[in-house]
Chain A
Amino acid sequence: MTQQPRSLFEKVWDAHVVATRPDGQSLLAIDRHFLHEGSFHAFGMIDHAGRKVRRPELTFAVADHYVPSHSRSKPIADPEIANMVTMLEANAGRHGLRHFGLHDPAQGIVHVLAPEQGLTLPGLTIVCGDSHTSTHGAFGALAFGIGATEVSHVLATQTLWQRRPKTMRVTVDGVLGPHVTAKDLILAIIAAIGADGAAGHVIEYAGSAIRALSMEGRLTVCNMSIEAGARAGMIAPDDTTFSWVEGRPYAPKGALFDRAVEHWRSLPSDPGAVFDREVTLDAASIAPAVTWGTSPETAVPVTAAVPDPGAESDPVRAGQMRKMLDYMGLAPGTALEDVVIDRVFIGSCTNARLEDLRAAAAVLRGRRAVVPGLVVPGSVPVRRQAEAEGLDRVFIDAGLEWGEPGCSMCVGINGDLVPAGERCASTTNRNFPGRQGPNARTHLMSPAMAAAAAATGRLTDVRKLDLRKLGAS
């Protein structure tokens, strides 16, 4: 009997089904459960019910959302914020979980730390009470965010009830142009399909442009799957993946690693695998992108102008565009490259890996930032390596701050906020109203583009900046 061709998603899903109900709900086994400070509601639920953590050896706690970006040797000043960090430590301790706390030499943003430590592996099911858990799909894992009640369910049972999502393949063929990065690629995809374009679907990213990405680039792409509404994003594991994983602290070693790789090589989608929806993009058509509105779907090439609601035929849509422009303080028709910014933020689970910091530093080397800015590496190991390469000096010499690892100004709950009314060029994932602080205005872009904006004080096409510098030298 020949087996039907299956996709990467279907192989991972099928391997984790514990039970199926007649109504189509499946009980999925979970291989990795990551927790951050926000898990206190879930711990409260299992404690209230008198339940234990079923698989502590598969459960990892990481302090990232509330940790300070500065002065870590001193106690956290805000008692409510300090309480969030100590509550995680107490809950992890009580349930016997590995806790990557504030002073751990591996500490970092959970979606940077877990791949770095070899906790993220191909073919795993991974959940975390954080929507950007989709990041881990870069390894060919099925990884998605869940809410507090589901977190408590996974703590107690190491399983989750799920209805099998639909599948979408996004194929990007061709070669990305100079200074066009994984961030520009995913912003282009979100703009093409919309902020709810992949709702109810798991995306598989495929094509030569995806294959050519480094693991860092793949993590950036999968990270923002949720901004297209996707349940998860996945990329087939290959030699790039295996060589990243090999030798990492929690990764399998020796013969066990070889056996794992043999299995992982069977995971990529079979030829002829069928997807519910197919989308294709041409890599060569993608330009460095910025967003103009309060949804990531408002990404456009930086060379474009602010759109005109007057040209929108649907009055409801036009009204929504006006509301976004009003919040962002932008007039229709303004060239985006004329938009003046107040600060930059380089960091977050989207863009705080070594490759990101190298790209930003390459633009800022020998330049001064004309606006204030904060650079927050994704983890202590990233920070150490960046310092070994002198990247911290590039940022500090340019006039930017060099912070300690964490979520920082992406969500602002450790106190790093964009002041009200200010406009921030940000390498983060969400430009929602109030995301970086009440009335803060966020333009999403790549690390190189944020660095370019820091150097000019405007939204800037990094390709032109580079040319100018070359012409001047």
Chain B
Amino acid sequence: MDPFVTLTAPAVPLDIANIDTDQLLPARFLKKPRSAGYGNFLFHDERKPGFPLDDPAYAGAAVLVSDRNFGCGSSREGAVYALVDGGFRCVVAPSFGDIFAANAAKNGLLTVTLPEDAVAALRRQLQEAPGAAVTVDLPTQTLTGPDGRPLPFAIDPFKKECLIEGLDDVALTLRHQDAIDLFDRRDAERRPWVVPGVVPGVV
């Protein structure tokens, strides 16, 4: 995946709570190969007149600023592919669906969690000055909005490291191969029922 270090780019505000992954990527596109370009499917059924992502004033936006519980619902990683292929590198919200946030990190999409009033203020600034840029600095964990005020954000250190390095975590895990093998051997003695035995047909 592409590493994420810093980003200065236009941001688009979306005043909608509970944006679910069905909205981000309608289920009928789930069978498409990644090579189809998931950016075309992003918010496919929400693209009605007045939808901020289609407003030319927000053209080139790489940051999306939304409301609470962004990315709730289905675990489909395609929702993240749609954002990434659609040009987004960062989503800012007061809270995120847990699975979405995990998927985002695996694909170089930074999720920034900020207090509800700070995110609302950021959306207002972006509505008042369409096309304004925000700067996200991951090493210092700050996001600076159009008003120039740096907002510190928290992030899991492991996630931060993976994003900055663009790490493949299977390679990282395989460094623990011996620990995994040892665990498996001990667990087979401790909980021998975990591996299903011979199966006498079905119900």
Among the stretches A113-121, A274-282, A364-372, A386-394, the one at the interface with B is A113-121
Q: Is the CB of A434 within 8 A of B45?
A: yes
Would you give the 0/1 interface string for A131-169, flagging 1 where the beta carbon is closer than 8 Å to chain B? 101000000000011111110110011110101000000
Q: Is the CB of B158 within 8 A of A196?
A: no
**A213 proximal to B (CB < 8 A):** no
Residues in A with CB closer than 8 Å to B111 are: none
Q: How many A-B residue pairs have CB under 8 A?
A: 198
Q: Is the CB of B158 within 8 A of A433?
A: no
Interface centre among B98, B106, B161, B192 (most CB of A within 10 A): B98
Distance from B55 Cβ to chain A, minimum over Cβ atoms (Å): 17
Distance from A173 Cβ to chain B, minimum over Cβ atoms (Å): 28
**B149 proximal to A (CB < 8 A):** no
A118 to B20 Cα, complex, angstroms: 32
Distance from B106 Cβ to chain A, minimum over Cβ atoms (Å): 4
Partner of A433, one of B23, B67, B78, B161: B23
Q: Is the CB of B158 within 8 A of A163?
A: yes
Partner of B77, one of A41, A316, A438: A41
Residues in B with CB closer than 8 Å to A419 are: none
Distance from B171 Cβ to chain A, minimum over Cβ atoms (Å): 9
Among the stretches A15-23, A444-452, A456-464, the one at the interface with B is A15-23
Among the stretches A175-183, A244-252, A332-340, A343-351, the one at the interface with B is A244-252
B-facing residues in A5-47 (Cβ within 8 Å):
15, 18-19, 21, 23-25, 27, 29, 31, 38, 41, 44
- A interface residues with partner B (beta carbon < 8 Å): 15, 18-19, 21, 23-25, 27, 29, 31, 38, 41, 44, 49, 51, 57-58, 66, 80-81, 83-84, 104-106, 116-119, 121, 123-124, 129-131, 133, 144-150, 152-153, 156-159, 161, 163, 194-196, 199-200, 226, 229, 231, 248-250, 252-253, 256-257, 259-260, 263, 294-295, 297, 316-317, 319-320, 323, 381, 411-413, 430, 432-435, 438-439
Q: Is the CB of B22 within 8 A of A430?
A: yes
Residue of A whose beta carbon sits closest to that of B179: A19
Q: Is the CB of A147 within 8 A of B23?
A: no
A-facing residues in B82-112 (Cβ within 8 Å):
95-99, 102-103, 106-107
Residue of B whose beta carbon sits closest to that of A407: B27
Residues in B with CB closer than 8 Å to A15 are: 191
Partner of B73, one of A24, A131, A158, A159: A131
A-facing residues in B147-190 (Cβ within 8 Å):
156-158, 161, 169-170, 173-174, 176, 179-180, 183-184, 187
Distance from B24 Cβ to chain A, minimum over Cβ atoms (Å): 10
Residues in B with CB closer than 8 Å to A226 are: 73
Residue of B whose beta carbon sits closest to that of A196: B69
**B30 proximal to A (CB < 8 A):** yes
Residues in B with CB closer than 8 Å to A413 are: 27-28, 30-31
Known: A381-B203, A412-B28. A319 touches B69 (CB 8 A): no
Q: Is the CB of A320 within 8 A of B17?
A: yes
Distance from B111 Cβ to chain A, minimum over Cβ atoms (Å): 12
